[in-house]
Amino acid sequence: MKNCKLSWILVAVLAIVVAALGYKFTVGNVQPSDDGRQAVMLSKDERNTLLLEMRVWLQSSQGILAAASEKDFDAVIKSAQASGMQAEADTPGSLFRKIPVEMKALGFDTRRKFDDIAVEAAKSKDSSLVVKKLSMAMNNCIACHEMYRFVEETK
């Protein structure tokens, strides 16, 4: 009887821990910001990593536009793949845990859109379709920047 009671207590404690971690994973480490956006609170290294990721997306976008204008579809593919899902492996877990679920969804969708650009470039070799897909991907960038800002945590 004692073992059964202890087991149920353990189950309850574990359920609370899992619920707390799930909540933290969903909400992220955010605070309201005075400009109406959510401030995502990050360490200096996490913030630098996120800003680098955004610069790479911007560089990829420029590379895609330049290559599409020259109808250099191999370069389009290379630029698009630099920001696709494969690059997600470089995202540190600590950063991923602090980002709210909506931002994670936008990030994954953006990476998938870059992968779609690479596929479209290889398949159709149509610059206008590549540019159209890039335009749709950049709507995610705009949405994210409208909702979030990235603030270095103070100790």
- The per-residue pLDDT for range 65-83, each reduced to its tens digit, is 999 999 999 999 999 999 9
- pLDDT band for 155, please (50, 70, 90 cuts): confident
Give the CATH number of the domain where residue 129 resides: 1.20.120
Per-residue pLDDT, averaged over 32-36, amounts to 94
Angle at 81 (CA atoms; ends 80, 82), nearest 5 degrees: 90
64: containing domain: 2-152
Q: Which residue has the higher pLDDT, 1 or 78?
A: 78
Which has the minimum average pLDDT: 10-24, 113-127, 136-150? 10-24
Total of domains in the chain: 1
Distances (CA, A) of 14 to 6, 17, 140: 12, 5, 37
Predicted pLDDT of residue 91: 85
The chain-wide mean pLDDT, for the chain, equals 89
What integer pLDDT is reported at residue 90 of this predicted model?
81
